[in-house]
Structure 1
Amino acid sequence: MSAPDTVINRPHPLLLDALTEAGFDATGARFTLMRSGTDSLPFAATTRDGDELVIKVRRAGSRSRYPTAVWASARMREAGIPAARVLWHSREACVEVRCPGQAIEAEPPQPQDLDAAVRAGEVLRRLHTIEVSSFGQLDGQGVGQHSTIQGWFLALPDRRAPSLGGLHLPGLLNRARFVLEAGADRLPVTAPKLLHGDWVGRHLFTDGHHITGVVDLESARGGDPLAELAGWSLREPAPMTEALLAGYFDGPLPAESLLPLVLFRLRIAVSLLHVHVAFDDQDMVRLRAAQIQADLDDLDHGHLTAVPRITPNEHSAGHRRP
């Protein structure tokens, strides 16, 4: 489970200024620090008039991607997706309406969580009907960084990575890079669709019957929908991935989608590993390394699976599936 939120007794002036700029009375507002993200510090805010909001403050040294969230929120809401509504933003902060319901992040997942994951798959399929003009991270006008799927796919992190407690990460990552470069031409030729970019349970809210909120839109990008499915599968327990796929597809995963799905999974695991190295999160580095190793071995032997053999669970860094 995530750590409890922290009540802020003396709010930073930036929080009060953001509320005021968004048109709210900041007098007597209550603030609670929420689970932190990579680029932002999010705070739940309740105004004296009872408005329920989220204020995000940019971390020092991170990029300001709030214009991307504004653009993505508008496109999603036009398509009937309950995306968080952005009320105001600047380079340093962003004010959103707080979504109702609870995040999908029970550990281990309960039947209601699996039902919510099925609903999340249905919402995700709707999201992926929205076309965009290009691939990669989107800017505030919805324009991506790459004109081709290969350019996006092969925009790999730097080769350098340290060895870690018996793991020879440079060798593993060089092997992964070779496979990804060889596999880039095996990706389907498809128009880019709007991707959330960080589609995981904690960014989805449910009231127990429907998905009531989709949050953290700063990572929105253009790409192949299979990449979104792959990203979820690396970070959620296996039953949650099975449930998401059941909601996303009318039947089984199409056979022609299996290889691209595994290639996207490998690509995303490589990127995540570099992030974990940067934050010195050794448990997560080991999990990603194990996932990369498993997918490389499966690609070598032609034994591909829609759900990774190694997934996170509540007991340890990773769980190996038979």
Structure 2
Amino acid sequence: MIFQIVPAMLMVVLLPLAEARAQADHPLVGRYEGATLRDRAEEAFTAYPRIIGFESGTPLIELREGRLTRLAYDNPPGRSTLEVLRNYLAALQARPGFRLDWECAGRADCGSTAPTPQGRGWNGVNGMNVGAGGDVRYATGQISTGTTEAYIAIGVTPRRTLVHVLEVAPMRTQMAFPRAATPAPAIPDAALPDAAILAAELARLGRVTLPGVFFDLDEHTLRPGTDAALTQVAGLLRSQPGLRLRVEGHTDSQGDDAYNLALSQRRAAEVRQALIEGYGIDPARLAARGLGEEQPVADNATPEGRARNRRVELVRY
């Protein structure tokens, strides 16, 4: 059902492009008035499984590729999920070229906790974590502006609204060649990680910095040359079957705080996934967390200090 709301009563604020970017909202969607941006993450090119229905106990998925933006907002108090989603839809439907593809209300109709090949719930499918509560509303549609074609998904819970925007764009293959040709920096053998040293530091401090992990600037994909570090971590985990580790990503203070936080989360998740897929580590024994620039270990005013702050740590939990 498509709801109509008098435009003057809309509480979803669609900002001008420049202002929206400055406030970190997505210019195609905007935010519900009074909501607080909690997190924003972007991927320049990815495959996104858009949930477009729920039939026979299984979410229906449509795979799209392009630039993905994920946003999470804390809702203002006292607003129902119905009110929030209706306002989003009314604001989007006021835009030329928008089409609503699917809308649902409630866990049973949406299938937000249904089993999928990636696990239980939407979070394993595309990262839209609406939780296990029953009061969830969801809508997805597409918009074509003449210059932009995008797919929009909105999930609303009593406390939070999640917005995913997939802008159709070709992969920039020319960027892959310099990155693939750039070797990882050489580090002395003495600085390479050793499972015994990692174990000793974890026993003593509960955490240890993992050397030998390399990423390109502003990227989260692991570069060649990190196998030695991951092999030692995998060996440590195999030697201590009861050990559980959290991979923590850290950045220096250059750039936007929210961007650094999202980048550090993606890097930590990449290391965790590499240990799972490449070394057969049980996913239940690994967690990932990005802390951005929150916990520096050196002065960010110097290149040497910033280099030390850009790190991956292992934390026993």
Q: TM-score range by the shorter chain?
A: under 0.3
* Higher RCO (C-alpha under 8 Å, 6+ residues apart): 1
Larger radius of gyration between Structure 1 and Structure 2? 2
Higher strand proportion (structure 1 or 2): 2
Higher helix proportion (structure 1 or 2): 1
With normalisation by structure 2, the TM-score equals: 0.27
With normalisation by structure 1, the TM-score equals: 0.26
